[in-house]
A and B are shown apart, each in its own frame.
Chain A
Amino acid sequence: MGVEDGEPLDEKTKRMRDLLSSFYSPDLPSASLRSNASFSRFATLDTINATSFDANHYMNLLVQKANLEELLKKHVEMASEIKNLDTDLQMLVYENYNKFISATDAIKRMKNNINGMEAKMEQLTEKMMSVQSRSDGVNTSLLAKREHVEKLHCTRNLLRKVQFIYDLPTRLEKCIKSEAYADAVKFYTGAMPIFKAYGNSSFQDCKRASEEAVGIIVKNLQGKVFSDSESIKARAEAVMLLNQLNFPVETLKLKLFEKLEQFLLDLHLEYKDLKDASADVIELPSQGNVNVSASAAAHEASIHEFAEALHAYRVIFLHSEPQLFKLAQDLVMKEFEAAHQQIKKQLCSADLLAIIRVIWTDVLLLDEVLPGAALPDFTLQAALIAVKDYITCALSHLLLDISDAFSKIQVMQKEGTEEVHPLQTAFEASKKAVIQGSMDVLLDFHHLLNENSELLLKLRVFTMEWVQEGFQDFFRKVHDYFLLLCGKSNSASQDRNMIEGVPGDKVPAGLVLVVAQLCHFIENSAIPRITEEIASSFSGGGIRGFEYGPAFVPAEICCTFRADGQMFLHLYLKMRTQRIAVILKKRFTTPNWVKHKEPREVHMFVDLLLQEFEAIGAEAKQILPQGLHHKHHRTDSNGSATSSRSSTLRDSRMSRSNTQKARSQLLEAHLAKLFKQKMEIFTKTENTQESVITTIVKLSLKSLQELVRLQTFNRSGFQQIQLDIQFLKSTLKDIAEDEAAVDFLLDEVIEATTERCLDPVPLEPPILDRLVNAKLTKTSE
């Protein structure tokens, strides 16, 4: 170990130390990164172990800091440390050398051991070869014997099978006797492949015998399947076995199914009987009850039976549900069909409820048996339709009742039945038909709601909805019917079957008035009552979306009927004035007015006119209410000034006697007109006797005026008109209400005649009075 003193040694030691420390301490390199300068500046005496140790600097530091004693002490310390380090180093080197030597030794020994191995391996291969050849020899010598043994074993099995087949018939018979059909089937099916392969040759007899046996088995099994007394499980097993025997189960199934269907048909018939019986109840309550209970019991029994049969079938034939569902639905359908037929016969809600109740119990029964069929839902759907049908049916019957009331009037009028107030009775009848009919119907519907059965509870909301819708529709139809009745609707699109035999054009005027008043009645009495009733019992449907609003809109109906009422009233006025216009027209177009003779009496057209007025008055009095105001009454008057004016005029006129000079009367009339405001003749017609009559009188007088204006008169013609008008003046007072307007119109007629007269010289008042009085006494007689 060349250890030297002084600087070289230091150098070497340091290198060594670095080397070692680089070996043992991984964190030194990071320390060595520090800059020397900073290190030296801050170095203390402890930095002697650092990598960047600067000896000179250290020495200077040491010399500066320490005194001599410390230096000496340091020196001694240092020398001993150096010595220690030296020995450590020596030891390290030595150990490394030692290791190297031992490694060399090991390598030398390995080299020697490898040399003998190859020869030994060759020996081993040789031995293995010989072992194999020997084993092959043993194998070949044993092969023949082993094959023989195997053949023998096969034969034995075959023989056993043959034995089994020969025994099969007897075995099967035994099984038949003990009714162990399952075993028998197992045996037979086991033997089947053999029979199939050899059945025509060796085992002919055997096959025949066993087939016979199987035939018996099949028969027995079939019997078992069809017999209702066997347990369902046994029957199901039997079917399974038959299936295994390749027996055509489908036909069996079909047969059974047919049986079920047949059953259903029979049941249906019975059901019909029940319905008839229940229908009988209405007519013969005392007798019917027994009938009903008996047939109801029978019905229940048969439904039970059917349910059981269904159940059995379902268990016996798996996967048969769809068919059964259909069957069950058919049943329900049929029941509802029967119900529909009943509904068409106009049964009351109690009967409908009874029917629905019966159906529901049936359905519940079936549902137990066939839970998957969703029968309740199906029934619900069907019941929905039934109830809806019922409601529409009930309402259409109501409509028929109303139309009956009307056709009665027509028949009555055609036959000329003598009745004091035919229109009044008709009106009362139709009123009753509307209000009583709809109340009855509502009451009937009410029963539907009060029923607590599960089915109907579900239907409740729908029922409400339909009742509302139904009434809406009903009133629309009534409206249509009225239109049709009065010949107002334009034909083609309407269904005419409802009112066959009603010729649209020939409707009597009185009937139109009845319809008008009935519209008024519906608007004012019937609708509010029905609305109230519906609101109290049938509100809260809520199926319809909010955007559609409620199904029953009384305001809309009221509006329609108000318009209808007005329209029919106008139609009545029109029909009546048309007749009067014909009379007047004839009067004015027939004679030659320019060559008219002197008036001798009041012309008879006045009688006709008054007759018409009387007829109208009679009609109006039967149907229309009396007006509240019995005196001059105008709805559309133009202000108070007018009415005060016309009343004073009338007073002054009334105070004058007829004996006043006609000429001055005429003049006065002209003068009065000068001061008079334009007379409102065509005011709104109200729904009262007075208003209607007055309107007709006014329209007629206006027509008279217009007709006069179209003619040219001579003096006599003028006087004739003057006479007629004078007579009318005295008579119309009793007929028409609005005296002022009537007087005005009569004056207008006179004026028009004057204008159209070639020589307007009025009749002398005494003559006028005499002629009028003569006519008055004549008519009073």
Chain B
Amino acid sequence: MYRDFTPAGFWLCLKESKRQPLMNMKMNFVTESVLVRPLRGINEICSSALFVAVGSTPPHLTLFDGLGLLERFLCSLYVVPCWVAIGASGIKKLLTFSESDHTFSCRCSAMQGGSTGVGYGLKYQARCISDVKADTDHTSFLTGTLSLKEENEVHLIRLSSGGTELICEGLFSHPNEIWDLASCPFDQRIFSTVFSSGESYGAAIWQIPELYGQLNSPQLERIASLDAHSSKIKCVLWWPTGRHDKLVSIDEQNLFLWSIDTSKKTAQVQSQQSAGMLHYLSGGAWDAHDVNAVALTCESSVQLWDLRTMKTTNSIQHAHVRNVDYDTKNKYMLVTAEDESGIHIWDLRKPKFPVSELPGHSHWTWTVKCNPEYEGLILSAGTDSAVNLWLVPPSSDDSALDSLLESPTRRVDPLLHSYTDYEDSVYDLAWSSREPWIFASLSYDGRVVVESIKPHHPKK
């Protein structure tokens, strides 16, 4: 990630996410290349082969992947005399390039002050990642790409037992670009996606084929299509706590409650209700404590729905809520992320004023997620390319809050840590329910980073 003119040459920085320019350059410069060689030594750090082209006209050097499989390698390179590659796992790998036989030798060194997380590169841009809750043996995540023109993929990623590496367990092609993805909480092979192609939107429930390990790019099995929607679908919700045969899907105007039978592979609309023409719904969350309570975000408020009556029971009048999450430890507690850089925590019994407020991000706060195990731990991700870890002191009563407000000097900074080692906006993140001190974040450039909060959390 450094580049500077030096007498010996210059540093060159290549970002994993910039595949598009890479392709362009290949087209542009390959004819002018003086030297095109496979980089043999690079196999030591990544599985795919790379070619390097050194051109006589600027830029002097370009790098592209020959097979289009630049999944787990990434890079900044340094031309002569040596190359520096930064692996997605955060280990700085120093490649020494020998001009005589054009081979690389590899040396690893710890990266200074950089990311501590374990990284994984998707091929294309991506917006959604989900924890595979039903997989009790491994810490796994599902993520899907968002590429308009290329073939999209769903990746099943597993954290190695040592926690030092992310392994691709499954790679499945998906017909359209994926805008939302949710793993089924009771069956690790089932998940739902919301996808689009151009103007049309759709949502479906998929099953990972059993023999996926043997196939290179096996097809997903579509269990059911949630095709009753007439407008743009926003998200699909599973009940987070356990086996439940219902599914909620939200489009801009309507809330659908589906009855799902995974064995029979059917999905039927059980009930449907319009939120009203003027409320553009943007997302929602399902209360882990109450199987009938769903919170929906719309332009001017957060609506709390009862699924039995399919009616709004209550609402929090607060504009520009982008994302919402129920606190899994405290009933009635709801966390919202605002467009304009704020996080609010609400007690649903007192919806007039927020219980507390967190500053959020420098730009939009895109998503918030409460830790499934530890109370008051909240992660937020934003378009300022950062993930913030918050600890909200448990202030159940108002007096404590007041005293907190009255003494700004003594206030404890709720921000535990800010992970800023992202190249692009972070749109989604997921706590691992198996190892609740671990979370995965996904930045738009398709980079998954799995981090442990242990170094930053005072108690654990």
A contact set with B: CB distance below 8 Å: 489-491, 493, 556, 559-560, 563, 574, 577-578, 581, 592, 594-595, 641, 645, 667, 670-671, 673-678, 681-682, 699, 702-703, 706, 709, 712, 755-758
Contact = CB atoms under 8 A, between A and B. Distances in A.
Contacts of A756: 148
A675 B339 contact: no
B353 interface: yes
24 contacts: A489-B405, A490-B405, A493-B402, A556-B409, A563-B408, A577-B340, A578-B339, A594-B198, A641-B3, A641-B4, A645-B4, A670-B20, A670-B21, A673-B18, A675-B59, A677-B1, A677-B2, A678-B423, A699-B363, A706-B383, A712-B199, A755-B20, A755-B148, A758-B149
Contacts of B371: none
B235 interface: no
Nearest to A556: B409
A709 B402 CA distance: 41
Interface in B403-427: 405, 408-409, 423, 425
Interface of B: 1-4, 12-15, 18, 20-21, 24-25, 28, 59, 125, 148-149, 196, 198-199, 320, 339-342, 353-354, 362-364, 383-385, 401-402, 405, 408-409, 423, 425, 444
Nearest to B401: A490
Contacts of B1: 677-678
B20 A491 contact: no
Nearest to B149: A758
Contacts of A678: 1, 385, 423
Given A490-B353, A493-B402, A674 B148 contact: no
A417 to B, nearest CB: 30
Given A493-B402, A594-B198, A703 B148 contact: no
Nearest to B361: A682
B426 to A, nearest CB: 12
Given A578-B340, A581-B339, A755-B148, A682 B363 contact: yes
Max chain B C-beta neighbours (<10 A), residue from A490, A581, A677: A490
Contact of B425 (A578, A706, A758): A706
A712 B12 CA distance: 32
Contacts of A703: 363-364
Given A675-B59, A757-B148, 6 more contacts: A563-B408, A578-B320, A667-B21, A674-B18, A706-B363, A709-B444
Contact of B13 (A490, A677, A758): A677
Interface of B is mostly: loop
A574 B340 contact: yes
Max chain A C-beta neighbours (<10 A), residue from B4, B12, B362: B362
Given A670-B18, A757-B148, A712 B25 contact: no
3 nearest A-B residue pairs (beta carbon):
A670-B21, A682-B362, A578-B340
A574 B341 contact: yes
A755 B125 contact: yes
Contacts of B401: 490
Contacts of A595: 199
Contact of B3 (A560, A594, A675, A699): A675
Given A574-B341, A581-B340, A758 B148 contact: yes
Nearest to A664: B28
Contact of B196 (A490, A712, A757): A712
B147 to A, nearest CB: 9
B20 A675 contact: no
B13 A491 contact: no
A560 B408 contact: yes
A675 B12 contact: yes
A758 B198 contact: yes
A713 to B, nearest CB: 9
A592 B14 CA distance: 35
Given A671-B21, A678-B423, A706-B364, A645 B3 contact: yes
A48 B444 CA distance: 146
A673 B21 contact: yes
B199 to A, nearest CB: 5
Contacts of B148: 712, 755-758
Contacts of A493: 402
Contacts of A706: 363-364, 383, 425
Nearest to A714: B198
A667 B28 contact: yes
A670 B24 contact: yes
A673 B198 CA distance: 28
B161 to A, nearest CB: 33
B67 to A, nearest CB: 20
Nearest to B63: A674
B408 A712 contact: no
A709 B425 CA distance: 11
Contacts of B28: 667
Contact of B384 (A641, A671, A681, A758): A681
